[in-house]
Amino acid sequence: MKKIILLGYMGCGKSTIANKLSKVIQIPFVDLDEMIVEKMNLSINAIFEKHGEIYFRKLEHDVFIELLNAPESFIIGLGGGTPCYANNHELLNGDNVVSIYLKASIETLFNRLAFNASKRPLIADKNPEEMKEFIAMHLFERSFYYNQAQYKVVVDDKTIDQTATEIADLLA
Ligand code: S3P
């Protein structure tokens, strides 16, 4: 069964776009972060605080594998860092997988994350200036992994509906 994977940096709109796409193509959406939160009964912030990032990355890998091996078709929304750890990027081109990188500019990401960072442990403590610098550097470091996706869809200046339609057309 098919797995449609949406990936991209924090704030690129993975969950919102996946929810809309799910309605358009009638395939259920599963959010990897939400699965982890449910499994652990802890928020992402609490997992980072209590167990550390390495523990989170291991868990993220295991839950990703579990979802890929499930018999049903899913849209899977990855966390921003998922493709960059534990060789997860190699799974973006597996059997029955369609992977789509939702590409957003530094400006778009900053505008979306600046006032919405508290639930994201990697940026929660940064002031706006530090955050912009961090996003620019981090996005550059992660681009190699994001670019392993089979398709790239630019999300800047598009509505959720437009992006979801563009992805549905790619999949048709
Ligand atoms: C992370 C992104 C988050 C979440 C965790 C780490 C990252 O997901 O998995 O805070 O490393 O970029 P979102 O991209 O859904 O915010």
Residues making up the chain, counted from first to last = 172
Q: Which ligand 1 atom is nearest residue 8's CA?
A: 14
Q: How many Å lie between the centroid of ligand 1 and the Cα of residue 47?
A: 12
- pLDDT at site 116: 84
pTM: 0.97
CATH numbers and ranges of domains, the chain: 3-104+145-171 (3.40.50.300)
- pLDDT at site 49: 96
pLDDT, average across residues 70-97 = 97
- pLDDT at site 29: 98
Type of residue at 51:
H
